[in-house]
Amino acid sequence: MHGWLMIWLVLGSAAVGKAEVAVWKIGGSGLDWSEADSSFVFMDFTSVPGAIQPRYITRDVNILSQMANWSPFKFPTALGYIDGEQPRIWRAANGFYWFTAGSLTTKWVDGDSLSYSPPVSRGIDSEWYTIDVGVPVPADQFGFFTPPRGFRNDGTPLSKDIVKAFEVSASEETDPVLNRENGDGDYHRLKTLIADLPQNFDKEVELDFPKQYVRFMRFRRKVSIDDIGVGLNNIEGAVQLGTFGEFVLKGEGIPKRVYYTTRITDLRRDWNFGQLSWSATPMRRVGDQAVEAPQAKAQIKVELRSGRDDDPNLYHEFTDTGAERVVARERYEKELKKPDQTGEGLTQEGKPGLQASVGYDIENWTYWSFPLTQPGAQAPLQRGRYLQVRVTLESQAFADFVRLDSLWIELSPLLAGQVKGEVARLDEPQPAAGFTQVNLGRMIDFSYDLKAEFNSTNQRGFDAVRIKTGSRPAFRRLEMGEPLAEVAPAQVAEDPEALVIFLPRKITDTTTTPIRVVFGSEVFNIANTFEAEVFATDSGDFPQQVEAGDVSAGVGTNSLRVLGVAEEAGQVIEALRLSAAVFTPNGDGANDRLEIAYTLFRLPAPLPVELNFYALDGAHQAQVEVGLQGAGPQRIFWDGRNSAGQLLPPGIYLIEIVIQSELKNFRRVQPVGIVY
């Protein structure tokens, strides 16, 4: 467990109308940024006392030998493995991804030139090695050298046992060819070719290349001219020539991103969470010094999760029937055996006495939140006693970075022990499938049932409910009591993406009662969660999240999620409309701006949107970076100017809306005219 620190900010007593707020803080005057009880990648804890920042890589060190805990597997099965937070180096060959001797590959990156993995009996060009540093690092040189001592079985000194021909390639991020090898065992070059050397005579190889971010390096032995001359290229079982003492990767600058993850922190009691804030300083490396640079191309991302027990994982073992059952972590780690490891996962599944899967405890833990990039935002967490924070420091320039001086989260006592919620279509409270389905983009009436449970007289209760609808809602009615009966709310507020209902009376441990809110809303996502929170208008206590659960016997979903289905196959970008087919951006105050309205469907999360303008001959005229947009109705305004701020000449132009996702970009095009 991470240590804990509560800094009390006394804003009032426990009387009604006053708030009791606390702060959990790390860095600065709070907890230490710890190397001992956290996980981190390329993080510098010592340059500035009380702060953390990316580690500056210098050319005098081998980046690979500075990293620890290398995995010899392409698909590590170690408990707690997170992609990008543990370096890997694995050996592969045509038809294979891992060998019994695979663990010997870590000897090539351990910083010890006397430790090596001996060559094997296999076709010269049938084997390759892949290095994953975990995060993109600035690099401009890759190399390797032979061990300084030792002999081959034929008496050849290892120092002279050079690799005669090879190919080296690299990529900044996960390359598609890495995933393609899940389905076939053929060699694939990575995105950037570093070297393709048909004949090598050096025992110490240094390959210089233009400075760039590199995460993956791939090395493949190749058949040399000498091998062809003596016929070795046709001998599949011949022992390969060439022994590695160490691989070397060098460069200088700041990694593209670095990580710091706290251990799970025990806050000693359940809390509601308020604002997440931090103090940070943008920096730039100038020569040997780091100086403050407000324009540094760097940023912070913070993710959080909260829980009500001390472990977010569920551990399973196999039963006699091959099914899985939950066991304590201690039994899982100390009493059960690990299945045999392969490059692709586990074997011997289904046998008693073996470790089975590790799942996520969604009953007691929130998933990691979406990354927060600005301080002062509401922490997207449910009530909890346990907290974990993951920090990513990103850089877009080799010399730029951001120093994180401190980070803190506001806390306040629970308003209730628990507030459960359950949503369903009003006309289908008990769907046969057990979950609610709606047609995308259609106004549907929903019932939202809530029930509060109190387990302490210190829990002050609430008198307002905020439901996050994601699109403009339409309030229908409020019902309260047992049995439910319509009552008049004290007030209703309909925001563009939320509905706020002020209750006619406060819900406390002595006045608790079922609540039902009936409202209409459109759904634009395939999976849409109607998140909600309750709050007290007479105090500054933080809102408390509503949790999915069984609230009403008359409703059969036990969920806050509804699934959207399209009535017919549609596009991601629909209902594209322009305020005018022709507009006149001449500054006279009339028709100067073009309104571009559209609706986004089926987006799992907000995605980057950009607006492009083209002449009819296809020449690009202007671009507008809109930012992130999620599912639902959207509006963009354009003033007729290009990227340089100049008005476009009269004519017909094509407007292109682009939604950028990892796998595919979605586009819609519409013509518009400009006249003066």
Q: Encode pLDDT of 201-234 as tens digits.
A: 999 999 999 999 999 999 998 888 766 544 455 4
Can you tell me the distance from the alpha carbon of 85 to that of 540, in angstroms, rounded to the nearest whole number? 39
Question: Within this chain, do residues 444 and 552 fall inside the same structural domain, yes or no?
Answer: yes
Report whether 454 contacts 513 (CB < 8 A). Answer: no
- DSSP sequence for 21-85: EEEEEEETTSB---SSSEEEESEESSSSTT-BEEPPB-TTS-TGGG----BS-SS--STT--TTS
- pLDDT at position 255: 97
Bigger pLDDT: 306 or 2?
306
Determine how β-strand 491-494 pairs with β-strand 498-507: antiparallel
Residue ending a domain, among 506, 536, 565, is 565
pLDDT > 70: what percent of the chain?
86
Is 183 part of a structural domain of the chain? yes
Domain that holds residue 590: 573-674
Whether the predicted pLDDT of 336 surpasses 70: yes
Residue ending a domain, among 206, 228, 250, is 250
- pLDDT at position 441: 82
**Poorest-pLDDT segment among 41-55, 78-92, 118-132, 653-667:** 653-667
Whether the predicted pLDDT of 387 surpasses 90: yes
- DSSP sequence for 326-338: EE-HHHHHHTSBP
Can you tell me the distance from the alpha carbon of 475 to that of 235, in angstroms, rounded to the nearest whole number? 78
Bigger pLDDT: 24 or 356?
24
Is 80 part of a structural domain of the chain? yes
Report whether 542 contacts 412 (CB < 8 A). Answer: yes
**Poorest-pLDDT segment among 192-196, 241-245, 378-382:** 241-245
Bigger pLDDT: 290 or 669?
290
Tell me the average pLDDT across 47-67: 93
- DSSP sequence for 547-566: EE----TT-----SEEEEE-
Question: Within this chain, do residues 483 and 509 fall inside the same structural domain, yes or no?
Answer: yes
Question: ∠ CA 402-405-406 to the nearest 5 degrees?
Answer: 125
Report whether 560 contacts 528 (CB < 8 A). Answer: no
Is 155 part of a structural domain of the chain? yes
Nearest to 52 by CA among 392, 370, 328: 392
Can you tell me the distance from the alpha carbon of 251 to that of 224, in angstroms, rounded to the nearest whole number? 29
Tell me the average pLDDT across 635-645: 80
Report whether 493 contacts 568 (CB < 8 A). Answer: no
Question: Within this chain, do residues 148 and 131 fall inside the same structural domain, yes or no?
Answer: yes
Can you tell me the distance from the alpha carbon of 403 to that of 47, in angstroms, rounded to the nearest whole number? 10
Report whether 231 contacts 216 (CB < 8 A). Answer: no
Question: Within this chain, do residues 451 and 484 fall inside the same structural domain, yes or no?
Answer: yes
Report whether 507 contacts 453 (CB < 8 A). Answer: no
Is 255 part of a structural domain of the chain? no
Whether the predicted pLDDT of 4 surpasses 50: no
Residue ending a domain, among 511, 531, 565, is 565
Question: E strands of 361-425, at which residues?
Answer: 377-378, 384-395, 400-412, 418-425
Nearest to 630 by CA among 416, 443, 468, 519: 468
Question: Within this chain, do residues 373 and 453 fall inside the same structural domain, yes or no?
Answer: no
For the chain, give the longest Cα–Cα distance: 94
- pLDDT at position 8: 39
- pLDDT at position 297: 96
Which residues lie across from 8 on neighbouring strands?
22
What's the CATH code of the domain at 217?
Answer: 2.60.120.260
Report whether 435 contacts 311 (CB < 8 A). Answer: no
- pLDDT at position 15: 39
Question: Within this chain, do residues 317 and 306 fall inside the same structural domain, yes or no?
Answer: no
Is 546 part of a structural domain of the chain? yes
Report whether 630 contacts 590 (CB < 8 A). Answer: no
Tell me the average pLDDT across 296-307: 96
Whether the predicted pLDDT of 396 surpasses 50: yes
Count how many domains the chain has. 5
What's the CATH code of the domain at 586?
Answer: 2.60.40.4070
Is 58 part of a structural domain of the chain? no
- pLDDT at position 209: 97
Q: What is the residue whose two structure tokens read 């996980």? A: 39
Whether the predicted pLDDT of 68 surpasses 70: yes
Tell me the average pLDDT across 322-346: 76
**Poorest-pLDDT segment among 370-374, 462-466, 670-674:** 670-674
- pLDDT at position 179: 61
Tell me the average pLDDT across 282-302: 95
Q: What are phi and psi of 329, to 5 degrees?
A: -60, -40
Bigger pLDDT: 419 or 598?
419
Report whether 92 contacts 74 (CB < 8 A). Answer: yes
Report whether 474 contacts 443 (CB < 8 A). Answer: yes
Query: What Å distances lie between residue 204 and 119, 209, 239, 245, 390, CA to CA?
Result: 17, 16, 21, 10, 40
Question: Within this chain, do residues 212 and 76 fall inside the same structural domain, yes or no?
Answer: yes
Q: Give the torsion through C-alpha atoms of 78, 81, 85, 91, to 10 deg.
A: 50
Whether the predicted pLDDT of 567 surpasses 90: no
Question: Within this chain, do residues 429 and 548 fall inside the same structural domain, yes or no?
Answer: yes
Question: Per this entry, what is the length of the chain?
Answer: 676
406-432: per-residue pLDDT in tens?
Answer: 999 999 999 999 999 999 999 999 988
Query: What Å distances lie between residue 199 and 228, 335, 349, 409, CA to CA?
Result: 11, 53, 47, 59
Question: Within this chain, do residues 594 and 487 fall inside the same structural domain, yes or no?
Answer: no
Question: Within this chain, do residues 265 and 396 fall inside the same structural domain, yes or no?
Answer: yes
178-189: per-residue pLDDT in tens?
Answer: 765 544 557 889
Tell me the average pLDDT across 397-412: 96
Is 351 part of a structural domain of the chain? yes
625 burial level (CB within 10 Å; 0-12, 13-18, 19+): exposed
- pLDDT at position 617: 62
Q: Count of CB atoms within 10 A of residue 634's CB?
A: 17
Can you tell me the distance from the alpha carbon of 50 to that of 47, in angstroms, rounded to the nearest whole number? 9
Question: Within this chain, do residues 510 and 484 fall inside the same structural domain, yes or no?
Answer: yes
What's the CATH code of the domain at 438?
Answer: 2.60.40
493-520: per-residue pLDDT in tens?
Answer: 999 889 999 999 999 999 999 999 999 9
Report whether 420 contacts 344 (CB < 8 A). Answer: no
Report whether 97 contacts 185 (CB < 8 A). Answer: yes
Tell me the average pLDDT across 266-290: 95
What's the mean pLDDT when you consider all of the chain? 85
Is 605 part of a structural domain of the chain? yes
- pLDDT at position 227: 63
Can you tell me the distance from the alpha carbon of 379 to that of 372, in angstroms, rounded to the nearest whole number? 9
| DSSP H or E stretch at residue 228 | helix 225-230
133-171: per-residue pLDDT in tens?
Answer: 999 999 999 999 999 988 887 788 889 989 889 999 999
Question: Within this chain, do residues 180 and 217 fall inside the same structural domain, yes or no?
Answer: yes
Report whether 92 contacts 127 (CB < 8 A). Answer: yes
